[in-house]
Amino acid sequence: MNQVQKLLIIGFVWPEPNSSAAGGRMLQLISLFKAQGFSITFASPAQNSDFMVDLQGYGVEKESIELNNSNFDVFIKELNPSVVLFDRFMMEEQFGWRVGENCPDALRLLDTEDLHCLRLARQKAFKDNLSFNISDLFVEDVAKREIASILRCDLSLMISEFEMELLESAFRIDTSLLYYLPFLLEPIDATVIQDLPTFEDRKDFVFIGNFLHEPNWNAVQYLKETIWPLIKRRLPESVLNVYGAYPSQKVLQLHNKKEGFLIMGRAIDAQEVVKIARVVLAPLRFGAGIKGKLLEAMQCGTPSVTTSIGSESMHGHLPWNGFITDDITDFADRAVQLHQDKTIWLKAQQNGFEIINQRYSKTLFESDFRVKIEFLRSNLPQHRLNNFIGSMLQHHTLKSTKYMSRWIEEKNK
């Protein structure tokens, strides 16, 4: 092994931790690898954004790369990373064959974020007013692409136990290719709790979520048209503050001061706006993965009302930090109950702290992840021999994608 371990992260976008849970997740992974002594380079073909994090402030080198450009081959050969992490399967599709050709001994990791095929299949079923069925996944082109990417990689990082089980049972993915690594959070202790606003210091309701993410936009429509009027009838003075990055004009048009439905746009500090709210509302009707907004609510000591989709794979056998319901009337009733009843509210808050500490504390995962990475790097040839289908896909993808990419590159000249 090289004395200086190098990690190359190939990102779909530059991390924006204040815009989405995915941005926060990426910084957690960077922190995890930094603790293992890795020198880290983050490369992306995305445009710079006003809200991207200063990677150099985290001790990470930033590199802009281009799709279908052999300059990447020169760059990665020179860097010679020992580990390459693809941020979402689309980046593995674009750059995986180049990594395999130029750095064949580099460990290839995929951070799935959530299963895109599951989210899209659920969204499609919802819009067609049908019940989602696991068999719906098999007709999705995205599923074929995503599963192929998982098979080509040496290890895929999964944030949802439900999605791991789905990959193993429905798609027959070998367990050796999957690794459960959820959001990695600081534990909640007495000092943290002491600094949080009290029940009396808080008021109103809040929804927060990136509006580029379709499940969030749908949830806000659902709140506006169906759920919020039921709550407002019971609590005439209450307000729902809706925060989220990248609101479109159709989102902004939902703003109605008279109805107490306020579109606030991007939150400068998401935790600050969640901390001063008494209840988080998250009526998500489709989606996948772990919901960052609901973990953030727990960190802020803010109870939530959500759906079975919202809470999926998040709390294990522990009680939720509020209520889970898919019934509209019950959702509104529970929201009012949490807002008004301090005893129930405090119990829900405590439940959230327990979920964070027992399921997401980074100390639970750090050492095991280090051992896993070291084991794979020491046993990579055998690990790949055991994954024949992945090797076969890597072989054929390298051939087909390579020539398509070369053709595009020539065409662009």
At 14, is the pLDDT very low, low, confident or very high (cuts 50, 70, 90)?
very high
Question: Do residues 42 and 60 make contact, with C-beta atoms less than 8 angstroms apart?
Answer: yes
What span, in angstroms and rounded, lies between the C-alpha atoms of 41 and 58?
11
At 399, is the pLDDT very low, low, confident or very high (cuts 50, 70, 90)?
low
What span, in angstroms and rounded, lies between the C-alpha atoms of 144 and 212?
24
Q: What pLDDT is recorded for position 1?
A: 43
The model's pLDDT over 210-252, given as tens digits with 9 standing for 90+, comes to: 998 999 999 999 999 999 999 999 999 999 999 999 999 999 9
Provide the residue ranges of all domains of the chain, joining segments of one domain with +.
6-184+365-412, 190-361
pLDDT at 400 over 70: no
The model's pLDDT over 305-350, given as tens digits with 9 standing for 90+, comes to: 999 999 999 999 999 999 999 999 999 999 999 999 999 999 999 9
Residue 279: how many other CB atoms lie within 10 Å = 28
Tell me if 6-184+365-412 shares its fold with 190-361: yes
Q: What pLDDT is recorded for position 404?
A: 72
Q: What pLDDT is recorded for position 139?
A: 87
- Count of all residues that appear for the chain in the document: 413
Kindly list the distances between the CA atom of residue 225 and the CA atoms of 124, 215, 221, 245, 355, in Å, as whole numbers in the listed order. Answer: 21, 15, 6, 21, 32
Closest CA to 244 of 219, 270, 218, 224: 270
The model's pLDDT over 30-68, given as tens digits with 9 standing for 90+, comes to: 999 999 999 999 999 999 998 999 999 999 999 999 998
Q: What are phi and psi of 86, to 5 degrees?
A: -90, 125
pTM (2 decimals)? 0.92
Q: What pLDDT is recorded for position 391?
A: 84
pLDDT at 397 over 50: yes
Q: Which ranges constitute the DSSP H helices of 197-327?
A: 214-222, 228-234, 249-252, 270-275, 292-299, 308-311
The model's pLDDT over 253-292, given as tens digits with 9 standing for 90+, comes to: 999 999 999 999 999 899 999 999 999 999 999 999 999 9
Which fold, 6-184+365-412?
Answer: Rossmann fold (3.40.50)
pLDDT at 78 over 60: yes
What span, in angstroms and rounded, lies between the C-alpha atoms of 123 and 371?
37
Question: Do residues 369 and 180 make contact, with C-beta atoms less than 8 angstroms apart?
Answer: no
Q: What pLDDT is recorded for position 403?
A: 67
190-361, which class in CATH?
alpha beta
The model's pLDDT over 351-392, given as tens digits with 9 standing for 90+, comes to: 999 999 999 999 999 999 999 999 999 999 999 999 888 888
Q: What pLDDT is recorded for position 372?
A: 97
Judging by beta carbons within 10 Å of its beta carbon (0-12, 13-18, 19+), is residue 282 exposed, middle or buried? buried
Q: How far, in whole angstroms, is CA 74 from its chain's centroid?
A: 31
The model's pLDDT over 292-309, given as tens digits with 9 standing for 90+, comes to: 999 999 999 999 999 999
